[in-house]
Copies of this chain bind each other. A is one copy, B any other.
Amino acid sequence: MSLNEAEWFTERFEDLTAFSVRFSQKLFAGKSPFQTIEVYETERLGRVLILEGCFMVTEADTFIYHEMLVHPAMNTVVSPRKALVIGGGDGGTVTEIVKYSTIESCVLCEIDPMVVDVCRTFFPSLSAGLNDPRVAIVHEDGAEFVKRFHRDFDVVFVDSTDPVGPGEVLFRKSFYESVKEALTTTGAAVFQTESPLFMRTVFANAVKNLRSVFGTHRVYPYLATIPSYPGGLWSFTYCSQSEQSPVETDKTLPRVLPPNLAYYNEAVHTAAFALPEFTAAMLAG
């Protein structure tokens, strides 16, 4: 029995696999100059945000994605003060960043204002950090915006969509060079780099290009499970300006984690950088 479209939302991935969720209500459907935007109410995954037909946020697992994008770098870079988020219009990344008292300013560069508006309305706790007085929001092309900066940010988080549509430029080598330039000499950037199981080529190419820009020994891919994303096993890549390794963090530094984290802790930090054999092999070539 097939899934009734009046009750089920389905994301097809490359028309080879699909993930579906039963919804009780379609809360929003819109089309911005950049993409289609939908919000559904579901029992299993809570509210879900769909961009261009793809799961971007689910209330059930978004804590994994946002905590694992943000906290490994926040706990490696020493006293990060200035942060930049590129993409991330749902506000989840900013909400994690502003949990740290060292942060003095956080710029969110999201090309699509409709994403921000929709998430403020339908995901108030996820986007709560956007109301923090240290946060500034600009609606520009992230690849262009970051070119204006030179040694300005302690941490940069590239919270991109897949490398199609508006997210495509955020996987280019020229963009990686601009991000490196925008970092302070002790700074670090983290890029979401897709699934090493289902998007092997995209992942391997992203890491290869990041290595050519930052230097092989300053690039550290790491993993977490995001059930609503195709392939489930998801990668992020930490790239540092300095010699500070996120794997062997300085244990003499007192790290004060924000309270009420649901995924990240010190053991998870170290564990995330342990790559399975097949992933390490993909990156060895």
**Interface of A toward B, CB cutoff 8 Å:** 1-5, 8, 10, 12, 14-22, 42-45, 60-61, 63-64, 197-198, 223, 225-227, 231-233, 261-265, 267-268, 270-272, 274-278, 280
Contact = CB atoms under 8 A, between A and B. Distances in A.
14 contacts: A2-B4, A2-B5, A15-B22, A16-B42, A17-B21, A17-B45, A18-B18, A18-B20, A61-B197, A64-B276, A197-B227, A225-B233, A262-B277, A265-B277
Given A17-B45, A262-B277, 7 more contacts: A16-B44, A17-B22, A263-B278, A264-B276, A268-B276, A268-B277, A271-B271
Nearest to A223: B225
A232 B12 CA distance: 17
Contact of A270 (B63, B274, B275, B278): B274
Number of copies: 2
Contacts of A18: 3, 8, 10, 18-21
Contacts of A264: 276-277
Contact of A268 (B227, B232, B274): B274
Contact of A272 (B3, B12, B231, B271): B271
B16 A43 contact: yes
A262 B278 contact: yes
A8 B3 CA distance: 11
A234 to B, nearest CB: 9
A272 B45 CA distance: 25
A20 B20 contact: yes
B16 A10 contact: no
Nearest to A44: B16
A4 B3 CA distance: 10
Contacts of A275: 267-268
Contact of A17 (B20, B232, B267): B20
A217 to B, nearest CB: 17
Contacts of A22: 15-17
B3 A10 contact: yes
Nearest to A16: B44
For A8, A10, A264, A276, the residue with the greatest tally of chain B CB atoms inside 10 Å of its CB is A276
Nearest to A233: B225
Nearest to A5: B2
